[in-house]
Amino acid sequence: MNSYDVADIKKAKEGKLKIEWAEKHMPVLNLIREEFSRTKPLKGLTIGACLHVTTATANLMLALTAGGARVALCACNPLSTQDDIAASLAVDFGLNIYAIRGEDNKTYYRHIDAVLDMHPNITLDDGGDLIFILHKKRTKQLREIIGSNEETTTGVIRLKAMARDNALKVPALAVNYSKTKHMFDNRYGTGQSTIDGILRATNILLAGKKFVVAGYGWCGRGLAARARGMGAHVVVTEVDPVKALEAIMDGFEVMPIAKAAVIGDIFVTVTGNKSVITYNHIKKMKDGAILANSGHFNAEIEIEQLEKNTVRKRKMRPSADEFTLKDKSRRYVLAEGRLVNLAAAEGHPDEVMDMSFANQALACQWLLEHKGKLENRVYQLPDSVDWRIASLKLKAMGVGIDKLTAEQQKYLSSWQEGT
């Protein structure tokens, strides 16, 4: 018998259809799932996952279960759970699942504990919460862990800081470092789903707006490109001179956030850092400015400070709150400053999560194959996994590519041939 805590099991029927829809858009994960069903590489393992509870995640959980693992899942963000998917996983697929959209902080951590109560041997994090709680509160369980996968840039930053301080007590695998993850999920996934979240939350026209993107990592690059595609005038803010230069040569305007604050209509943070937009910046913004965050944590915009300086707060639409300041000017914050793409929309399309979660599934297998041989540091999957996933994706798309001839291979590996 599985255990679960979900919002409403009556939503299962709807959720099951959406999971099936997603499955059709995840060909690479499906192939891995078929292989896992035959070979059962994860037999005997318990996998604890703290991920966004979406259609894509559902299909990952089913692939891991097909591989023979016992799986327990909780949400990695209180606002990103799709309750119908959680219900279907509990009722139709017998998964141990603890996730309710809008859960309070106490419930959020109770759900993390419920997953850890299953004594996982491998953890899957998106943002590092499972591994963080294990290190902070449940240290005895650390010796049961073979390794821990991390999905996102923010989580990898945390893990690297832990490794640097010799505080990391398990091997960690940065799934985010796979090319078939960050170059597609972070760029095209965040690019599209962030715009999707903003539009669902506001129904505004992007054409002609000043659209400020804070951060020009892979997520920022994708978002800036997509916003430009919708006709917005995109301004980029950065702290890294190389990335700033890249943004300029990609055709965007670059300036400090304090300057952008005055001219922007829409602001989106995608940095993975805190206090990127401070109350001081917010104060300078135009009446009606819209603020959203698509980085993992809701720490990028100083919303607490904004709350403190607000004379009236109104919920204008399900994911859009209006804050009226003392001078009567208004600011609009989307999805409470949490990941706008998951809280106001459905996250990245399943087609892109196909590759991210193919990496997650193969990362579990890789950890098991290297059990006992790894140090407590941050690893990444070998290039061969990227090649395999990319080749399978191309095949599913019906795209052929060329092969090096023997002569070309020899040329590339020699140094004698000159001009």
Please tell me whether residue 353 binds ligand ADE under the rule CB under 6 A.
yes
Query: Smallest distance, Å, CB 185 to ligand ADE?
Result: 7
**Position among 101, 214, 347, 367 found at the interface with ligand ADE (CB under 6 A):** 347
Query: Smallest distance, Å, CB 347 to ligand ADE?
Result: 3
Residue for token digits 């599985």? Answer: 2
Q: How far apart are CA 355 and CA 368, in angstroms?
A: 20
- 359 known member of a binding site: no
Q: How far apart are CA 45 and CA 363, in angstroms?
A: 14
- Stretch near ligand ADE under the rule CB under 6 A, chosen from 198-206, 287-295, 346-354, 360-368: 346-354
Residue 355 burial (C-beta neighbours within 10 Å; 0-12, 13-18, 19+): buried
Site string for ligand ADE, 386-415 (x = CB under 6 A): ------------------------------
Q: How far apart are CA 291 and CA 112, in angstroms?
A: 29
- 182 known member of a binding site: no
Of the two residues 198 and 353, which places its CB atom closer to ligand ADE in the complex? Answer: 353
Q: How far apart are CA 122 and CA 129, in angstroms?
A: 14
Of the two residues 282 and 353, which places its CB atom closer to ligand ADE in the complex? Answer: 353
- 108 known member of a binding site: no
- 94 known member of a binding site: no
Please tell me whether residue 348 binds ligand ADE under the rule CB under 6 A.
yes
Of the two residues 188 and 379, which places its CB atom closer to ligand ADE in the complex? Answer: 188
- 294 known member of a binding site: yes
AA identity, residue 14: E
Strand blocks (E) in 354-412? 378-379
- 348 known member of a binding site: yes
Q: How far apart are CA 387 and CA 358, in angstroms?
A: 12
3 state DSSP class of 263: helix
Please list the alpha-helical segments (H only) found in 40-143: 55-66, 83-91, 105-116, 129-136
Residue in the shown chain whose Cβ atom is closest to ligand ADE: 347
Pairing of strands 330-334, 320-325: antiparallel
Q: Is 89 within 8 Å of 43 (Cβ atoms)?
A: no
Find, among 141, 151, 130, the residue nearest to 48 by Cα.
130
- 119 known member of a binding site: no
To which H or E segment does residue 4 belong?
strand 4-6
Cα–Cα distances in Å, from 399 out to 34, 130, 212, 281, 394? Answer: 22, 39, 36, 47, 5
Q: Is 250 within 8 Å of 187 (Cβ atoms)?
A: no
- 48 known member of a binding site: no
Site for ligand ADE in 32-51 (CB under 6 A): 51
Site string for ligand ADE, 154-193 (x = CB under 6 A): -----------------------------------x----
- 109 known member of a binding site: no
Site for ligand ADE in 49-78 (CB under 6 A): 51-52, 54, 56-57
Of the two residues 42 and 51, which places its CB atom closer to ligand ADE in the complex? Answer: 51
Binding site per annotation, positions for NAD(+): 152-154, 186, 215-222, 238, 273, 294-296, 341, 348
Chain contacts with ligand ADE (rule: CB under 6 A)? 51-52, 54, 56-57, 189, 342, 347-348, 353
